[in-house]
Amino acid sequence: MDSAEGVEMDAFRDRVALVTGGASGIGQALGRELARRGAAVVLADVDDDGAQATTAQIAAAGGRARAAHLDVRDREAFRALVADVLEREGGLDLLFNNAGIAIVGETLAMSDDDWDRMIDINVRGVTNGVQAAYPEMAKRKRGHIVNTASLAGLAPQPGLTAYATAKHAVVGLSVSLRAEAARHGVRVSALCPGVVRTPLVQNLKVLEEESYLKRDDLVAMLPFKFITPEACATAALRGVERNKALIVVTPHANLLWRAWRLAPSAVLAASTLAARRIDRLKR
């Protein structure tokens, strides 16, 4: 083991981590990488089979992990799970509020149910985690909460208005709580990836899908390459080690975020053109 890897291992060894959305995608990759680095991991998800399969793989590789059923919209269930982790594991050092969904399409096509589901999972799912874990971490004067947001929480994303609404909320929650939590010894970060090849992308809901190109054709139009969940997890944990407020992952996400900060009018104009281009692709 070289010295760099030793530092990585020491940062997470014997820590207790709870990861929501842990059955697949970024959550699954986080669970595997945390366990590889010596953490005890609890993977929470509504997909019991996926979470169990992942924990079995981690155990087979010599790691420590267990699965837990959790619908992040259920506030009391989240609190009960945190209490269970504290009792069984003796503490909670890291909470990754990672569970989420995506809906693609024009805002005019969004139903009330679409908005409710987006807010309930992507915003309330995070606040429920914060409400469950943050008071316990504050009592112990230690802990790190990592809330998965997105590039959509940092810059305009036409066709993803509801998703961007939720992810901007997650970023706002994270940076504001970070300022409050510092005096209690608790760290808070927002993870903001670009596009990661996960089941969320493959299974996202496309509004008025019959009017658009096929999903794979839309994905192929993107002017950048996807990264893997594993690459995202590695970058995320590097940001946690460095205690970064915003962990912006992928080169295109960093580029667009910085461009939005420096030249918002130009980025908004480009986003408007992109929205018109998508509109022209309607059949």
Q: Does 5 score more than 70 pLDDT? A: no
Distance set, CA 251 to CA 14, 25, 37, 272 (Å): 32, 19, 25, 22
Average pLDDT (26-43) is 98
Q: What confidence score (pLDDT) does residue 13 get?
A: 97
Q: Does 7 score more than 70 pLDDT? A: no
Which residues are catalytically annotated? 163
- The domain containing residue 74 runs over which residues? 3-280
Q: Does 3 score more than 70 pLDDT? A: no
Average pLDDT (226-252) is 94
Kindly calculate the radius of gyration of the chain based on its CA atoms and give it in whole angstroms.
Answer: 19
Residue among 179, 178, 180, 198 at smallest CA distance from 188 = 178
Q: What confidence score (pLDDT) does residue 227 get?
A: 86
Give the number of other CB atoms < 10 A from CB of residue 167.
28
Share of the chain above pLDDT 90, in %: 72
Q: Given pLDDT bands bounded at 50, 70 and 90, which one contains residue 106?
A: confident
Share of the chain above pLDDT 70, in %: 84
Q: What confidence score (pLDDT) does residue 118 get?
A: 96
Q: Given pLDDT bands bounded at 50, 70 and 90, which one contains residue 252?
A: confident
Tens-digit pLDDT profile for residues 48-94: 999 999 999 999 999 999 999 999 999 999 999 999 999 999 999 99
CATH number, domain of 139, equals: 3.40.50.720
* Tally of domains within the chain: 1
Tens-digit pLDDT profile for residues 152-175: 999 998 888 999 999 999 999 999
For residue 265, count CB atoms less than 10 angstroms from its CB and return exposed for 0-12, middle for 13-18, buried for 19 or more. Answer: exposed
**Lateral strand order in the sheet of 16-20:** 64-69, 40-45, 16-20, 94-97, 144-148, 187-193, 246-249
Give the integer Cα–Cα distance in Å for 254 and 226. Answer: 14
Tens-digit pLDDT profile for residues 168-225: 999 999 999 999 999 999 999 999 998 876 554 555 556 555 444 454 545 544 545 6
Q: What confidence score (pLDDT) does residue 207 get?
A: 58
